[in-house]
Amino acid sequence: MNSPVDIDMIRYAAKRLHGHARRTPLLSSPFLDEIAGRRVYIKPECLQHTGSFKFRGGWSALSGMNDDASKNGVIAYSSGNHAQGVALAARMHGVPSVIIMPSDAPKLKIENTRALGAEVILYDRDTEDRDKIGARLAKERGLTLVKPFDDPLVIAGQGTAGLEIAEDVNALGIKNADVLVCCGGGGFTSGIALACEADAPTLRVRPVEPEGFDDVARSLISGKIERNTVTSGNICDAIITPQPGDLTFPILHRLCGPGLIITENEVQKAMAQAFLRLKLVAEPGGAAALAAALYRPDDITGNAVIVTISGGNVDPAQFAKAIATLD
């Protein structure tokens, strides 16, 4: 079976995103290199519009769908970052948006999504099925669903970050490195993997997940889609999903692995290092890959490591708690 998303789609998405999404740099710090025991290069997608890479997928979807699909508006379900990415991209396209969010999502993400012009509908993450709610609303109002990861246009949009990583890594002459990606449903990871396969094929793209929510790591081992038993109760809310997607998993299985697992404490310490050494605000889920790079060096190969910081939308109290670990 041909994949519904390929490198040509990513390159075309990059053209549509040009001048709208931010072209984020690769950052570094000698202090982080020392902790990790190898050169660490940071892809700071917290600096992307709406504070996460999700704006790339949102813009790709809105700019890639035809006028008929967008005329009544779009709908998305999201723990928050996809919500904001789609809401802003929709507003910039003059398209109404409805966002379905879990009721335990950070207050900040819910407020931001509303402030970006979206209609927000809350649901209970443990008892309700967001897919069913989304499908029903889409049908009733004639909205086009923009899935958070299992959508070819969205994967293509996230993959544009991978094109940038490959370009910068090639300019630096890096050949032997893992690319660590904060991984929920696998849209960001699979997009980056497709881009690196084409433009930097010696890199190894590896998903990073929180302990107890390692559906992708287990799926890569078993060779089939595995589920998490619970989907709440971890600070890394942005990357907690029930299972990898039907579209993302075959890409992950073909190109990625093995998965890396980190603890909540490691994530907090990584957020503190991003604050201290990079002057960046990383949300817990966004610091997962940095946690692996800094505190799981024996699980990584290569003389350099590329680390995505996937987002920075974190409540002040939670951030204060993380940086207090420095004292």
Output the smallest distance, CB 279 to a copy of itself, in A.
3
Output the smallest distance, CB 89 to a copy of itself, in A.
13
Element (H, E) at 305: strand 304-309
Indicate whether 110 belongs to the interface with a copy of itself (CB under 8 A).
Answer: no
Indicate whether 25 belongs to the interface with a copy of itself (CB under 8 A).
Answer: yes
Which of residues 7, 69, 108, 122 is near a copy of itself by CB under 8 A? 108
- Residue pair 279/259 in contact (Cβ under 8 Å)? The answer is no
Indicate whether 18 belongs to the interface with a copy of itself (CB under 8 A).
Answer: no
- Which long-range contacts (C-beta less than 8 Å, at least 24 apart) are formed by 195-198? 195/7, 195/10, 195/159, 195/160, 195/161, 195/162, 195/163, 195/165, 195/166, 196/162, 196/165, 196/166, 196/255, 197/7, 197/255, 198/7, 198/10, 198/166
CA distance 186 to 323: 28
Please, which residue, 47 or 255, has the CB nearer to a copy of itself?
47
Indicate whether 31 belongs to the interface with a copy of itself (CB under 8 A).
Answer: yes
Please, which residue, 287 or 300, has the CB nearer to a copy of itself?
287
Segment near a copy of itself (CB under 8 A); pick from 139-147, 172-180, 235-243, 310-318: 310-318
Indicate whether 161 belongs to the interface with a copy of itself (CB under 8 A).
Answer: no
Indicate whether 46 belongs to the interface with a copy of itself (CB under 8 A).
Answer: yes
Q: What is the total count of residues that contact a copy of itself (CB under 8 A)?
A: 29
CA distances to 56, 153, 187, 205, 274 from 156, in Å: 9, 5, 9, 16, 28
* Exposed/middle/buried for residue 271 (C-beta within 10 Å: 0-12, 13-18, 19+): buried
> What does the block give as tokens for 162?
């991978």
Indicate whether 174 belongs to the interface with a copy of itself (CB under 8 A).
Answer: no
Indicate whether 12 belongs to the interface with a copy of itself (CB under 8 A).
Answer: no
CA distance 142 to 73: 8
Which of residues 17, 177, 272, 304 is near a copy of itself by CB under 8 A? 272
Output the smallest distance, CB 32 to a copy of itself, in A.
12
Output the smallest distance, CB 312 to a copy of itself, in A.
3
Indicate whether 39 belongs to the interface with a copy of itself (CB under 8 A).
Answer: no
Please, which residue, 255 or 276, has the CB nearer to a copy of itself?
276
The full DSSP string for 39-82 is: EEEEEEGGGSGGGBTHHHHHHHHHHHS-HHHHTT-EEEE-SSHH
Residues binding a copy of itself (CB under 8 A): 22, 25, 27, 30-31, 44, 46-47, 51, 88, 108, 115, 272, 275-276, 278-282, 312, 316-317, 319-320, 323-324, 326-327
